[in-house]
Every structure is written in structure tokens, then in C-alpha cells.
Amino acid sequence: MPLYEHVYLARPDLAPAQVEALTQALAKVVSDHHGTVRGTEYWGLRNLAYRIRKNRKAHYVLMNIDAPAEAIHELERQVRINEDVLRHLTVRVDAFDEDGSAMVRKGDRDRRRREEGGW
């Protein structure tokens, strides 16, 4: 089956537990259409480059998905309907990064620098 990376931005007034529940609901949509979510990454509450619906921050979530196209169409339909999602993007990829996303690697690099006293 094709592989996809799906990133969505959730409203900043949601609690991290609510964002996790939203991620699980979207994963259920994928699994109901014979797909699997290989992994998710919560990137946290981050500043936006520009305002989206009067919001300056958003919760960022990445989902690695292995699913047929019908599952992705339904996932995107559900995301468009959901008022808690500000933006979303789905990209088809050839393979998932085994080391994690660039956001996770950046956080690891910054953490190592602080521990080594480089900052």
C-alpha cells in the first residue's frame, strides 16, 4: 500500500489530551478503511509563521500512514469537517524516516547541546 505523511495543526486552546484524542479518532478513520497508522509524533504547541483564524499558535501532529487512497480521502474529509483543525497537509512518500522526523531530530540535537554545555 502507499505510504503517506499527514500533518495537521490543531487549535491552541485544546489541551494536549484533547489533541491526542483527536489523533486517535483520525487513526480510527484510517483503520476503518483498511489502513494502518505506523506512528505519530506530537510536536507540541508552536508559533505559527502567520495568523490562521486569529490564532498565533497551534498544536502540530505528524501521522505516518500506510493506507489505500480511499482511506486518505476519508481522512481528509473528516479533517475538513472538524473545527479543531486549522490546517492539514498529506504527502505521499516512498519510505518513512527511521530516525524520526526532522522536528524530532532537531529536538534531540538541541537537547544534546544543552547537556554538553554548548549553549
**Could you report the per-residue pLDDT of 59-92, keeping only the tens digit for each?**
999 999 999 999 999 999 999 999 999 999 999 9
Q: Whole-prediction pTM value?
A: 0.82
Pick from 69, 101, 82, 52: nearest CA to 3: 69
Asked if 22 and 81 count as a contact pair (C-beta separation under 8 A), the reply is no
Asked if 87 and 8 count as a contact pair (C-beta separation under 8 A), the reply is yes
Q: Which amino acid is at 45?
A: L
Q: Above 90 in pLDDT, residue 108?
A: no
The superfamily in CATH containing domain 3-116 is: Ribosomal protein S6/Translation elongation factor EF1B (3.30.70.60)
Check residue 116 and give its pLDDT: 72
Evaluated on CA atoms 17, 110, 40, 48, the torsion sign reads positive
Q: Give the residue, 112 or 70, on which the prediction is more confident.
A: 70
Other beta carbons within 10 Å of 67: 23
Q: Above 70 in pLDDT, residue 105?
A: no
